[in-house]
Structure 1
Amino acid sequence: MIELFPSITEQDKEQTKFYLKKYPDMKSLMKDFEKHASDMYQTDVEGETAKKESNEEYYSNKTANTVVFDEKRRLIYLEYKILSEAIERAVALIIDEEERKAMYYRHLRGYSYKEAMNFMPYTVSSKTFDRRLIEGLVSVTNTLKLWGVLEREWKY
């Protein structure tokens, strides 16, 4: 029987925390790939990166290995894009405005805990801010679980 709203587990929350922690790095790598993909490909062609893909090869096929490296990079980029867009949408769907702001500034913008608290509409205690982050995490986890993101097996 399929649940209309699948219940989340502690493991789901931990997985969501991991994704949120990696989000800024994913965005940075995606921007770099978008800006420098052709440069990276050219470096592989001209450099030593693609000389041998594995130690088992007796000779190097730089052209084929370059294509393989480039394809792996592109697949990683696409998976990061799927995951980061899902996270952004899940945060945007948080109903409570203060929870959404707390999650946005703390995780999507990557501000420190103290800096993120400064973006709240009024001065809040750290306990109140913690509650906003916890409830925001639950909301994002529920959304990602509902969309099947947490069950997806990421290859890269």
Structure 2
Amino acid sequence: MAMVWGQGELFAEASKEEIKQTEFYLGKYKLMTLFMSDYENYQREMAQVAIDGEVARRIDQTDLHADKTANATILDEKQKWVYNQYRKFRFMINRAHSQIIDPEVKEAIDIRFIQGYSRKETILFMRRGTAHSTVDRRIAEGIKSIANTLKVMGFFEEIHRKF
């Protein structure tokens, strides 16, 4: 894994683009977790639906005739690859979340992204009397902290790998 840091930089700082990517993946965290749970609990059923259903009929829309079994196998392999990628991403995000020092920032990130609540619900769950701008600031600080940790872990190189 190639790390791209500035010369003489001891503590990596995430770029604006990496912070935006971090926010995107944090926003998808709950969906990744739900997919993983579904895949773990219903892997056989998902494979059978792929064979029986229309999903595998034509993976490529230019195919006039398709081998459903072969396409279902490709679809199953892709689902397995996505599952494994999500496992890596979730592990790295959880590690980065655990590295947040400020407990209030950690709590805001936990409510907003790990538990998957909306911005409004996050504000309501925070301690009584906490201004919405304070919650927004804590979330922004948490995203930046997670992005910096993910940069050190090689997350941004990992997300660019293809199937």
TM-score range, shorter chain: 0.7 to 0.9
Distance 1:38 1:9, change over 3 A: same
AA matched with 1:145: K
**Equivalence map 1:137-152=2 (5 Å):** 137-152=143-158
The counterpart of 1:104, out of the listed 94, 110, 122, is 110
Deviations 1:107-154 (A, max 9, x none): 111112232233334521122222211211111010011101023214
1:155 equivalenced with 2:145 (yes/no) = no
* Residue 44 (structure 1) shift: 2.0
Question: How does the TM-score come out when normalised to structure 2?
Answer: 0.84
SS, match of residue 125 in structure 2: coil
Q: Who is 1:61 aligned against?
A: 67
2:141 is aligned to 135
Q: TM-score, normalised by structure 1?
A: 0.87
> Do 1:79 and 1:154's aligned partners in 2 also have CA atoms closer than 8 Å?
no
* CA–CA separation in structure 1 for the residues paired with 2:98 and 2:83: 22
Q: Does the C-alpha gap of structure 1 residues 2 and 75 become closer, same or farther in structure 2, counting only changes over 3 Å?
A: farther
- When the two chains are superposed, the root-mean-square deviation of aligned CA atoms in Å is 2.1
Residue in 2 aligned with 1:49?
55
Identical columns (%): 37
1:89 maps to 95
Over residues 40-78 of structure 1, what are the superposed CA-to-partner deviations in whole Å (9 max), with x where a residue is unaligned? 111222233323433555643332222111000110111
The whole-number CA distance in structure 2 between the counterparts of 1:126 and 1:58 is 55
Partner deviation per Cα, 1:72-115 (whole Å, 9 max, x = no partner): 01101111111122112211211110000000001111112232
Deviates more, 1:59-68 or 1:7-16: 59-68
> Structure 1 regions of 5+ residues with no counterpart?
none
Partner amino acid, structure 2, of 1:87: I
Contact 1:102 1:129 in 2 (8 A): yes
